[in-house]
């Protein structure tokens, strides 16, 4: 069975180029193409496309909004973004909307064909610099989360724990009662998913 592909792209030159490329591969079957999101939303649910190559910057509704609005009606369809946009915001919006692949328009023809097949087999093809952006976003969020998940007071308590102070000493330093210190530390352990002082300090300060 060939992989059924449809294209949503407003620029005729790009749409025709993709069509020619897809028609050149015997493993792919080109279905109807669309120049805007509105017409795609009307016809795609009944077409049964396996893969939809979707531009972001379309006249009227954007490709991202198109996916967001149509995905539930196309349960067997996967969406491959094909765009000039490579900023973090657009990448995240597209993936959150339901896209499972993201290629830039400067991608070489052979790589486009490989990506369609990879997507159909359960992969998530992305241009290399897009994959790097996502990795950086993940790593930055990981670093921020450990700090921001705690309240200001919990950050203070954990810093004092790291300095080696006992519960009683922390209470005296912060002018709070011993029981409040214990509650703060209980909350810290829960939020960081750790069992003791050493694990909490190592995870928070990213020590080995």
Strands 51-54 and 78-83: parallel
Name the superfamily (CATH) of residues 3-127. Answer: Response regulator (3.40.50.2300)
DSSP conformation class of 126: B
The overall average pLDDT reported for the chain is: 89
Give the CA radius of gyration of the chain.
Answer: 25
Q: Is the pLDDT of residue 146 over 60?
A: no
Position 208 confidence tier, pLDDT thresholds 50, 70, 90: very low
Position 139 confidence tier, pLDDT thresholds 50, 70, 90: low
Residue found under tokens 């190592």: 202
φ/ψ (deg, to 5) at 147? -85, -45
Q: Tell me the per-residue pLDDT of 31-85, one tens digit each, with 9 for 90 and over.
A: 999 999 999 999 999 999 999 999 999 999 999 999 999 999 999 999 999 999 8
pLDDT at res. 147: 59
Instruction: Report helix, strand or coil for 76.
Output: coil
**Tokens found for residue 112:** 């486009």
* Strands (E) located in the chain: 3-8, 28-30, 51-54, 78-83, 101-104
At the topology level, CATH places domain 144-204 in Arc Repressor Mutant, subunit A (1.10.10)
Q: Tell me the per-residue pLDDT of 76-107, one tens digit each, with 9 for 90 and over.
A: 999 999 999 888 788 888 988 999 999 999 99
pLDDT at res. 190: 84
Q: Where in the chain is CATH 3.40.50.2300?
A: 3-127
Q: Is the pLDDT of residue 141 over 70?
A: no
Question: Per the confidence metrics, is the pTM higher than 0.75?
Answer: no
């Amino acid at each position: 069975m060939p992989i059924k592909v449809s294209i949503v792209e407003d620029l005729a030159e790009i749409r025709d180029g993709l069509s020619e490329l897809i028609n050149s591969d015997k493993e792919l079957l080109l279905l109807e193409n669309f120049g805007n999101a509105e017409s795609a939303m009307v016809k795609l649910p009944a077409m049964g496309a396996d893969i939809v190559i979707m531009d972001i910057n379309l006249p009227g509704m954007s490709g991202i909004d198109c996916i967001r609005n149509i995905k539930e009606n196309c349960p067997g369809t996967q969406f491959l973004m094909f765009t000039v946009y490579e900023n973090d915001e657009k990448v995240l919006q597209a993936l959150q909307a339901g896209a499972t692949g993201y290629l830039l328009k400067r991608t070489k023809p052979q790589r486009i064909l490989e990506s369609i097949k990879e997507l159909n087999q359960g992969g998530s093809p992305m241009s290399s610099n897009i994959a790097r952006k996502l990795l950086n976003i993940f790593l930055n969020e990981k670093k921020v989360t450990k700090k921001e998940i705690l309240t200001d007071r919990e950050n203070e308590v954990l810093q004092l724990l790291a300095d080696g102070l006992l519960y009683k000493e922390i209470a005296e330093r912060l002018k709070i009662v011993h029981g409040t210190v214990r509650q703060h530390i209980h909350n810290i352990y829960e939020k960081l998913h750790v069992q003791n002082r050493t694990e909490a300090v190592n995870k928070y300060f990213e020590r080995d």
